[in-house]
Amino acid sequence: MQRALLKVTTHTSRVTVRYAETDQMGVVYHANYLVWMEVARTELCKATGFAYSEMEADGVLLAVSEAGCRYLRGARYGEDIDITATIADSNRRFIEFHYTMTCEGKKVATGRTRHIFLNKEFRPTRLPDRYAELLSAE
């Protein structure tokens, strides 16, 4: 019997800009885009077949080792932002996600996060089989 041929490696999430996320410039404070990437990453994990909270309960932490964002135009309070998260690269030691953020089809920002897998003692660890398969990390 065959395994599923199609794996989920991308997913789009939507957030509505909160007042709390704006700053006095009248647009979203730049650090908050990283939070939106986290929302999209969480939902992408769910779409591949597991909740990230389960992985943590299994003793594997997905620690951010690098994060970056390019800002193309300021997002504003009340706007709906679509964040497409994609698994760009992965193996048993790390995973990299890329993100595209749009508002009504226009690009707002692009981003990238790289993560390493840590055990509860914050030491690098290898991703267990179950998650490796789901995250294309074999």
Residues in 61-100 that interact with a second copy by CB under 8 A: 61, 63-71, 74, 76-78
Burial class (CB in 10 A: 0-12, 13-18, 19+), 105: exposed
Interacting stretch for a second copy, rule CB under 8 A, among 3-11, 51-59, 83-91, 98-106? 51-59
Q: For the chain, what is the total number of helices (H) and then of strands (E)?
A: 3, 5
Residue 6, token pair as written in the block: 């199609």
Of 48, 37, 40, residue with least CA distance to 113:
37
* Cα–Cα distance for residue pair 118/138, rounded to 1 Å: 17
User: Does 130 participate in binding a second copy (rule CB under 8 A)?
Assistant: no
Interacting stretch for a second copy, rule CB under 8 A, among 3-11, 14-22, 86-94, 123-131? 14-22
- The verdict on whether 80 is a catalytic residue reads no
Active site residues: 23
**Interface residues toward a second copy, by CB under 8 A:** 16, 18-20, 22-27, 29-32, 34-35, 38-39, 42, 51-53, 56, 61, 63-71, 74, 76-78, 122
